[in-house]
A and B are shown apart, each in its own frame.
Chain A
Amino acid sequence: MRVYWEIAKRALSRQLTYRTATLAGLATNFYFGLLRAAVMAALYGARAQVDGISLQAAITYTGLAQSLIAVISLLGWFEVMRSINKGEISSDLLRPIGYFKFWLAQDLGKAAAQLALRGIPLMLGYALFFDILLPQTLWHWLAVFLALGLAVLLSFSWRFLVNLVGFWVTDATSIGRVVYIFSWFLSGFLMPLRFFPDWFVRLCYLTPFPHTINTIVEIYLGVLTPGQMLRALLLQLAWFVGLTLACSWVLRRGIRHLVIQGG
C-alpha cells in the first residue's frame, strides 16, 4: 500500500511544478465559465426555475462543471495506450506492483493536485463574481466529496479500459478520441442533463458517464432527496467495481497477447 501512496505523492508534486500551465488552465476554465454563465442567464430570461434548477443553481453549475473537468479529466487520456505502443509497458510489468493500481495511484495524485490547484480556486473565484449556491451542512459537503471521489475512480477505470484497446490496435488514439467524445457529452458537462428530454436522459443513464459530472452536480445543488442521493452514490460505486473488473479481465488477456518488439 505504501508504494502506491508514494507513487500518488510523486504524481501530485509533478503537477505542482507546472505552475504557469496551471494558472493558464485556470484562466481558460474561468473564461469558459463566464461565457456559459452568460448563456445561462440569457436562456433563463425571466424564468425563475427550470426543472427544479433555479438561475442561481444554473450559474453555480457552470462553475462546477469547469472546476470538475480537470479533476475528473474526461477529455482524453492516452498514457497507457502510448506505453503499450512504445513498449515501455514491459518495464512497468516487471515491477512487483499491480499494473492497474500503479496507474490508479498516479491518477489519484494528479486528481488531488488538480482539485487543489484548479477546482477549488476556480469555485472561490466564481464566488467573487457570482452569488453561487453552497452546501449548507457538513453532511451535504461530505456527500459532495464522496461523490467526487467515486467519480474520479469511475472515470479512471473507464479511461483505463479504453486505453487497453492499445493491446490489439497499434494506433488506438483515434478510437479513443471518438469514445471520449461520447463520454464527455453524456457526462453532463455541456448542460445539466435535466434540461434534456426524458428519453435522452434515460439513455444517458444506461452508460456510466452521467455518474461522473452530472451526479456530483445534482448532489451539490441539492436537487436530490436523501434516498436518491444514496442511490446515486451506490450506482457510482457499482459502475466503478464493474469497470474495474472489466479492466482486470481485459488486462490479463492483453498481457497474454502482448509481444514486445526487441530493440
Chain B
Amino acid sequence: MKALRLYLWLVLIQVRSQMQYRVGFLLETLSVALGSIISFVTLALVLQKFEGIAGWSLGEVAFLFALVELSFGLMDMIFSGFDPDYFAAHTRQGTLDQYLLRPVSLTLQIFGSQFILRRLGRIFQGTLILVYAVQLVNIEWTVGKILYLPLVIAGMVLFFGGLFMLGATITFWTVERIEAVNILTYGGTELMSYPMTIYQDWMRRFFTYIVPAIFLNYYPSLYFLDRPDPFNMPFVVRFIAPVVGLGVFLAAYVFWRFGVRYYQSTGS
C-alpha cells in the first residue's frame, strides 16, 4: 500500500514536470500519434490495393495492428523507466548508484523514474484504430470476448514490459544499450501486426517456442474474429495470452533481480 502511494507520487511528479512544457508536450504527443497513424494509413492503402493479405481482410489485419499498438503504447508509458535506450544511461553514467542508496525497492524507483506521457498519442491512436477495425469486421461480441479483451491487452503489456526489463538488465553487463533488443520489442510489434501464416516456418517456430509472441496477439485474435487455426494447435491456446504474458514478465523480473545483485557500477 505504501509502495503504491509512493509510486503514484513519483508518477505524479513526472506528469507535472512534463506538463511544464505544454507546447512541447502537445507536439511530441502529436508526433507519436502521427507516426503510428502514418504506419496504419500505409498499411490500409496497400491492403486495399492488394485486397487483403493471406486471406485476412483489411479490418482483420487492422484488428491485429490496433491491439498491438494499444498494448505497446500502454507498456511504453508504464515501463518507460526500463526502456533500454533510457536505462542504459543510468548504468553508463553510474546514476543507478543513487537509487541503490535509497531505502526503497529499486524496481519501484525505476518504475517511477520515468513516465512518458506523450505515449498517450500512441494509445489514443491504437484505440481509434481498434474501434475502426471492430466496425469493419463485425465481430460477434459475446460476454467471453468482452471479458477477455482487457486480459489480452494486459498480457501484451506484461510481455513487452518483460522484454524492456530484459533489455535493461543486459546493460548491467554491456553498459551500452543493445540495439538487438529492439528486434524483439519494436520488431515484435511489427511482426504481431500480421497473420502469422505469412512468415517462414523457422521464423514462426522461433516466435512460438523461444519468444512466445504468437500466443499474445495472433491466437486471441483468432478467437475474437472466429477464424480457424491453420496450425492445428489445441483450442485452448487462444486463451493463454495473459498467462504467457505474465510468465515472460516474471522470468524477466527474476533475471532483473539477478542482474541487480550482480551490478558492480561503472565506478565513474
- B180 and A34 within 8 A (CB): no
Q: Cβ of B34: which chain A residues have Cβ within 8 Å of it?
A: 178, 181-182
Closest residue on chain A to residue B50 by CB atoms: A43
**Interface presence of A94 (CB below 8 A):** no
Known: A185-B42, A191-B46. A31 touches B198 (CB 8 A): no
Q: Which of B31, B176, B178, B203 contacts A38, CB < 8 Å?
A: B203
* 0 or 1 for each of B195-230: is its CB under 8 Å from A? (1 = yes): 001111001000000000000000000000000000
- Interface residues on chain B, size class: 20 to 34
**Interface presence of A93 (CB below 8 A):** no
**Using a CB-CB cutoff of 8 Å, which residues 178-199 of chain B contact chain A?**
178-180, 182-183, 187, 190-191, 194, 197-199
Q: Cβ of B27: which chain A residues have Cβ within 8 Å of it?
A: 174-175, 177-178
* 0 or 1 for each of A42-58: is its CB under 8 Å from B? (1 = yes): 11110100100000000
Alpha-carbon distance A182/B37, docked complex (angstroms)? 11
Q: Cβ of B120: which chain A residues have Cβ within 8 Å of it?
A: none
**Interface presence of B54 (CB below 8 A):** yes
Q: Cβ of A32: which chain B residues have Cβ within 8 Å of it?
A: 187, 190
Q: Cβ of B179: which chain A residues have Cβ within 8 Å of it?
A: 21, 24-25, 27-28
**Interface presence of A171 (CB below 8 A):** yes
Known: A41-B198, A191-B46. A35 touches B191 (CB 8 A): yes
- B45 and A28 within 8 A (CB): no
Q: Cβ of A31: which chain B residues have Cβ within 8 Å of it?
A: 183, 187
- B31 and A181 within 8 A (CB): yes
Q: How far is the CB of B175 from chain A (nearest CB, A)?
A: 11
Q: Cβ of B39: which chain A residues have Cβ within 8 Å of it?
A: 190
- B183 and A171 within 8 A (CB): no
Q: Cβ of A168: which chain B residues have Cβ within 8 Å of it?
A: none
- B42 and A27 within 8 A (CB): no
Closest residue on chain B to residue A42 by CB atoms: B198
Chain A residues within 8 Å of chain B by Cβ, number: 33
Q: How far is the CB of B139 from chain A (nearest CB, A)?
A: 23
Point out which of B30, B31, B197 has the most chain A C-beta atoms below 10 A from its C-beta: B31
- B176 and A174 within 8 A (CB): no
Q: Cβ of B53: which chain A residues have Cβ within 8 Å of it?
A: 39, 42-43
* 0 or 1 for each of A184-224: is its CB under 8 Å from B? (1 = yes): 01000011000111001000000000000000000000000
Q: Which of B24, B194, B199 contacts A171, CB < 8 Å?
A: B24
* 0 or 1 for each of B17-61: is its CB under 8 Å from A? (1 = yes): 000010110011011001100110010011101100110000000
A-B interface, 10 closest residue pairs, ranked by CB to CB distance from nearest:
A24-B179, A42-B198, A174-B27, A177-B31, A178-B31, A43-B50, A42-B54, A185-B38, A190-B42, A174-B28
Using CB atoms and an 8 Å cutoff, list the residues of chain A in contact with chain B: 20-21, 24-25, 27-28, 31-32, 34-35, 38-39, 41-45, 47, 50, 171, 174-175, 177-178, 181-182, 185, 190-191, 195-197, 200
